[in-house]
């Protein structure tokens, strides 16, 4: 419970009941224990609770309607004999202030807002009840996952944006222990767990007729490479009555970079769809060449999990790229297509990228870097 200090109102999160089919409801109660508000709208909840401090008056600046899924910064200071409590969303320039003539009430309101910020409650999005579940993989569950044997290739985006971007669906928590709750990456991990639970509860799927390939990607893609947990798995444990513990362990270990500065320095954390698909082909080719199965009898399913659009140029599928590199370098120069100008001519159609790959710390100063990091270009539009 997060109780206000006026003795008249209790504001708390009800995790045992939800009228809106969410993980919890926001509830405000009076001194007699009667509910005066039950809502799934975090801003309605906060505004109602803040009104419990009678000396605090709300003032709205710029766009007072904050974007759901984001968390405003909370600040407080004294000015003109009043305690100011400010909630400000720098990214969308939304701002709300409370001016409190009673300093103690102002501090109580500040601590209440800070607690909501620290527990990520401001990021709670509205939930709604539907006639049937909308967050389960029904297309797979009712379609491909009823037709064994199946090769399932899971392709997971672990770019930087999957860490800092909040997930817009139901509350998930911090599944990989990276200190960030309810991120896109957490949602991707949860989706894989959900699929494995479908396999576990199935009467027709087991370790004998389901094979799992796992690809992770950011600036480059990885399958059975240096970045684990890329590789092969059986979906279930040896007894067939639970998810493969090795898969659970490795899913919970998946983390990505946490700062934009590190992304630039290490050239990791961008989004390369093309290489992710190339590594996926490796998995299906490996299965096709497996002499212990008849590949033609197996259903092939690829589950592609990502949060956005690619920003790394591919290897010959007519992807857009930036026209200019550093210091006016012309990206149309044949040498710029795939190698620095000191190397022999090699166009993108010749194969995978040979420079500015994931982990290339020299990429930041490579004059051809903008030729690779397209189509998000600085100063001009992308070309093909």
Give me the pLDDT at residue 326, please: 65
- The answer to whether 208 and 176 are in contact (CB under 8 A) is no
The position carrying tokens 């504001």 is 11
Give pLDDT tens digits for 342-354.
Answer: 443 334 444 456 6
And the tokens for 56? 């605090």
Q: Are 59 and 99 in contact (CB under 8 A)?
A: yes
pLDDT in tens, the chain (384 residues): 444 444 456 788 887 778 887 788 888 887 777 888 899 888 889 988 898 899 999 886 655 556 666 778 899 999 989 999 998 876 556 788 999 999 999 999 999 998 888 888 888 877 767 655 455 445 455 566 777 899 999 999 999 989 988 887 777 888 998 988 889 999 999 999 989 988 998 889 999 999 999 999 998 889 875 555 567 889 999 988 889 998 888 889 898 888 888 888 898 898 888 889 989 999 999 999 999 999 999 999 999 999 877 778 766 566 666 666 666 677 666 454 444 444 433 344 444 566 778 888 888 887 777 777 655 565 566 555
User: What does the domain layout of the chain look like in residue ranges?
Assistant: 1-67, 70-120, 150-305
**pLDDT of the residue at 126:** 77
- pLDDT of 364: 80
Q: Is 74 in contact with 110 (CB distance < 8 Å)? A: yes
Q: What is the pLDDT of residue 343?
A: 40
The residues that bridge with 211 in the sheet, in sequence order, are 151
**CA distances from residue 292 to 105, 211, 332 in whole angstroms, order as listed:** 72, 13, 47
Q: Are 127 and 20 in contact (CB under 8 A)?
A: yes
Tokens of 111: 């601590």
- The CATH number of 150-305 is 3.40.50
Residue 342, pLDDT score: 42
Q: What is the structure's pLDDT at 346?
A: 38
Rounded CA-CA distance 302/282 in Å is 12
How far apart (Å, rounded) are the C-alpha atoms in residues 377 and 118? 36
- Given a contact cutoff of 8 angstroms between Cβ atoms, the answer to whether 215 and 154 are in contact is yes
3-class DSSP state of 199: helix
How far apart CA 362 and CA 365 sit, in angstroms, is 6
Phi and psi angles of residue 226, each rounded to the nearest 5 degrees, phi first: -70, -25
> Can you give the pLDDT at residue 333?
61
User: What residue ranges in 158-308 does DSSP mark as E strands?
Assistant: 210-217, 221-222, 231-233, 299-305
Report how far residue 186's alpha carbon sits from residue 51's, in angstroms, rounded to the nearest whole number: 35
Q: Could you give the count of Cα atoms lying within 13 Å of 76 in the half-sphere of its Cβ?
A: 19
Tokens representing 194 are: 């959900």
The separation between CA 201 and the C-alpha centre of its own chain, rounded to angstroms, equals 27
Residues in the chain: 384
Cα–Cα distance, 116 to 112 (Å, whole number): 6
């Amino acid at each position: 419970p997060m109780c206000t200090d006026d003795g008249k109102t209790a504001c708390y999160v009800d995790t045992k009941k939800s009228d809106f089919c969410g993980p919890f409801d926001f509830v405000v109660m009076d001194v007699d224990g009667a509910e005066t508000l039950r809502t799934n709208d975090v801003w309605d909840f906060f505004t109602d609770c803040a009104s419990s401090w009678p000396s605090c008056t709300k003032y709205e600046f710029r766009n007072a309607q904050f974007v759901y899924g984001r968390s405003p910064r909370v600040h407080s200071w004294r000015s003109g004999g009043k305690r100011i409590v400010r909630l400000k969303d720098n990214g969308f320039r939304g701002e709300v202030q409370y001016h409190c003539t009673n300093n103690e009430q102002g501090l109580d309101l500040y601590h209440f807002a800070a607690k909501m910020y620290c527990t990520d409650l401001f990021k709670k999005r509205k939930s709604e009840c539907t006639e049937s579940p909308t967050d389960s993989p029904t297309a797979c569950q009712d379609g491909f996952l009823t037709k064994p044997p199946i090769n399932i290739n899971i392709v997971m985006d672990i770019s930087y944006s999957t860490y800092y971007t909040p997930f817009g669906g139901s509350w998930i928590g911090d599944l990989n222990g990276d200190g960030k709750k309810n991120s896109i990456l957490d949602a991707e991990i949860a989706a894989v767990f959900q699929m494995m639970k479908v396999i576990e509860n199935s009467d027709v799927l087991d370790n004998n007729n389901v094979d799992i390939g796992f690809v992770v990607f950011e600036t480059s893609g990885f399958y059975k490479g240096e970045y684990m947990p890329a590789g092969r798995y059986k979906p279930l444990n040896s007894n067939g009555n639970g998810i493969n513990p090795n898969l659970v362990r490795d899913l919970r270990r998946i983390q990505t970079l946490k700062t934009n500065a590190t992304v630039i320095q290490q050239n990791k954390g961008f989004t390369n769809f093309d290489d992710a698909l190339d590594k996926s082909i490796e998995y299906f080719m490996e299965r096709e060449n497996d002499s212990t199965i008849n590949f033609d009898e197996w259903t092939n399913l690829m589950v592609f999990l990502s949060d956005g659009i690619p920003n790394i140029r591919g290897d010959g599928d007519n992807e857009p790229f930036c026209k200019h590199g550093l210091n006016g370098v012309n990206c149309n120069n044949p040498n710029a297509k795939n190698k620095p100008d000191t190397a022999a001519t090699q166009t993108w159609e010749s194969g995978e990228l040979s420079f500015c790959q994931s982990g290339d710390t020299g990429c930041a100063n490579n004059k051809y870097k903008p030729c690779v990091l397209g189509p998000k270009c600085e100063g001009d539009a992308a070309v093909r």
